[in-house]
Structure 1
């Protein structure tokens, strides 16, 4: 009986010891898990910072050539614009060939436009669109008229302009007309005078006006 009682007491003590040991083990594992989690978070933060730094470095490297290219392009454009002097007494306008023929026949005595040119314009160089694709005539003119001010039914389109039936709001009178012989083709405009066929109008470069004066052209009227 004594041995049995002692065995029971020893078993009770050992179970208590195992419970305490298990608690200690669980606490240790919990502490280790927390430490591992914190170290993992720190490692993840370091990795993210490294990736951000590498991305910023790549962006800086890729953006620098673009800035250099854009600045060089803009400087080239500004240099090109500054070297081309304009004669604001002369403008180059696009015109359809059929209307240029009417002006040459004196059947059209006003050239109508939606826009107003500078007050200094005295001559208009007529660039005929395809299939001609060339500057063929130069007309002398003065300040434009507005709807209701032409009062000349003999000219093509004058009545419609006076009645406000046209989209155009400015009518440039044809005071005189000169013919270029030979005409200035679109290719020659670029190679000789550094200009392209206008999209609407442009002011003539001085070297064009100086190279081909009116007295070198055939005066039609």
Structure 2
């Protein structure tokens, strides 16, 4: 079974999917990061190249990576056998939802300051964390610099080009942890486009780490 896993804006490759990597089977690919930061359009092209070479496959994507997965499916649906989106940051498809709009309003000035050299890495980290509603990470300076460089180079998860008119693959699953209004609203918007929705209560944002996550994915793949 050919399956490609697409990471979010944090860890990449197998490190972003420890539970699934431990159970990996032949034909499973854990997409690695190319360049400093992720780019949905570029990663959609990478996904499509991999899927075409195998005559199609299943796509699993987390958070920011869901944008590349949906974009690939909307460009060439024939090669995407199924789509599983874990806490997807597909905000283009959920515009107008209250929490999504609040989030975009809070994050927009942060991304606008990404190229401002007068904003230090630590200050940018504080701004980013505050807009996300979380505490800034307490990490060594070298790690902080690497994280901030990646965030500064990241394109915001809206204005990417996802279109509700293009729809979703018939077998699309959304998995959320039930703890975030932003992701629950986004899940609702995707359900309106035909997706199925499963909630793994208490999983937080990294639903792939929930004890039932891999089982839920396997059930989705076999339909």
TM-score per shorter chain, which class? Answer: under 0.3
Task: Judging by fraction of residues, say which structure has more strand.
Answer: 1
Give the TM-score of the pair, scaled to structure 1: 0.22
Give the TM-score of the pair, scaled to structure 2: 0.22
